[in-house]
Amino acid sequence: MLKQIKMSIVIIISILTLNSSVYAVPIAMNANAVSTDAKEAAIYKAKIETTSKDSNVTIASIKFANDFANNKFTIIECVPKGYYIYHNDSGNFVEYSSYSISPYLGYVSNLIYAGPKEYYVEENSEYRHTFTGERLDASLKDSFAPACNDNVKRLMSSKNSKVLSYINDSTLSDKTFVSEAQDAIAASYTVKYIPNSSYLSSLSSNLGYKDGGYCGYIAANLVLYYWQKRYPSRNIVPSNYLHSSGIGLQGTGLTDELISLGSDSGTTGLSIRNVLMHIAMRTVLVPHRHGICSLYVLVQK
């Protein structure tokens, strides 16, 4: 009988030992695995550290938005202020500022992001712009979708391979993944030039400069000048605003007109966006009524 009891104890111990060995390996593996959410959060943090001049800028909240074609974006809001908008499928940060207030501050759900300066929240069968209060009927959604898909196609055509490689790496250690996120952001940080950038970089005068805190409007007239140079037949900038030498702008005429179109003397991104939209609407830059999905699409038409 004693022998049988001893044998039973041995069998029980063997079973317990077997069970321990079966489950110990998966538990250890799960403990060391780095989730996609954790890796993406590390990318957000690394991007903020790379682009913010204020070391006190930290992540306050992470929100999610769709565009009018249901493409997905992530909104990272910071404290004391700042925001970053990230397209997860391409690994690209579409826009960011470490010193501006998030356009979605105070909003949690039903967020619509249709490109820079196109921030909406869906409510009561309408899309309301979070800054201007402009309201769009939800029935217009399908008409905006193609422009949004064009935006995303451009993002996907220039994927951030370093970031995506990091996100998709299943072998990352929970001890080093944060530093590796910093390496991925640093490796993907490159200077990119627009086509024919010499149209602007070669200018040392005839910039339409005007004293008085109008830097945003001056920058806007240079944007219009750039597109005039690329597509002269479109007459984006009236000839009387162009310098007789063919290089640069004549005086401050174009700047003055842009200022007159502005709602105030401020040069916020929104005020400049509205002025450029006004100019775009009277040229062949824009084939549709609303500038949904940003000037990034408008100027490509």
3-state SS string over 155-222?
HHHCCCHHHHHHHCCCCCCCCCHHHHHHHHHHHHCCCCCCCCCHHHHCCCCCCCCCCCCCHHHHHHHH
Q: How far apart are CA 59 and CA 49, in angstroms?
A: 11
Provide the CB-side half-sphere exposure for 201 (13 A, CA).
Answer: 6
pLDDT confidence of 267, banded at 50, 70, 90?
A: low
Quick check: helix, strand or coil at residue 51?
helix
Q: What is the DSSP string of 113-158?
A: E-STT-EEEEETTEEEETTT--EEEGGGHHHHHHHHHHHHHHHHHT
State the helix-helix crossing angle for 253-261 and 269-281, rounded to 10 degrees: 110
Q: How far apart are CA 134 and CA 273, in angstroms?
A: 14
Residues with Cβ within 8 Å of 175's Cβ and at least 6 positions away in sequence, in order, are: none
**C-alpha 298 chain-centroid distance:** 17
pLDDT of residue 127: 96
**C-alpha 188 chain-centroid distance:** 15
pLDDT of residue 263: 65
The residue count of the chain comes to 301
Burial of residue 269 (number of CB atoms within 10 Å: 0-12, 13-18, 19+): middle
pLDDT of residue 245: 92
pLDDT confidence of 265, banded at 50, 70, 90?
A: low
Over range 150-175, report the average pLDDT: 92
Describe the strand order of the beta sheet including 111-113 as a list of residue ranges: 92-97, 83-87, 72-79, 58-66, 111-113, 119-123, 126-129, 135-137
In tens, the pLDDT along 90-103 reads 999 999 988 888 99
In tens, the pLDDT along 55-93 reads 789 999 999 999 999 999 999 999 998 999 999 999 999
Paired with 75 in beta bridges are 63, 85
DSSP code of residue 72: E
pLDDT of residue 157: 94
Q: How far apart are CA 222 and CA 234, in angstroms?
A: 16
pLDDT at 114 > cutoff 50? yes
The total of other beta-carbon atoms located within 10 Å of residue 164's CB is 18
The total of other beta-carbon atoms located within 10 Å of residue 44's CB is 21
Over range 106-122, report the average pLDDT: 94
DSSP code of residue 264: S
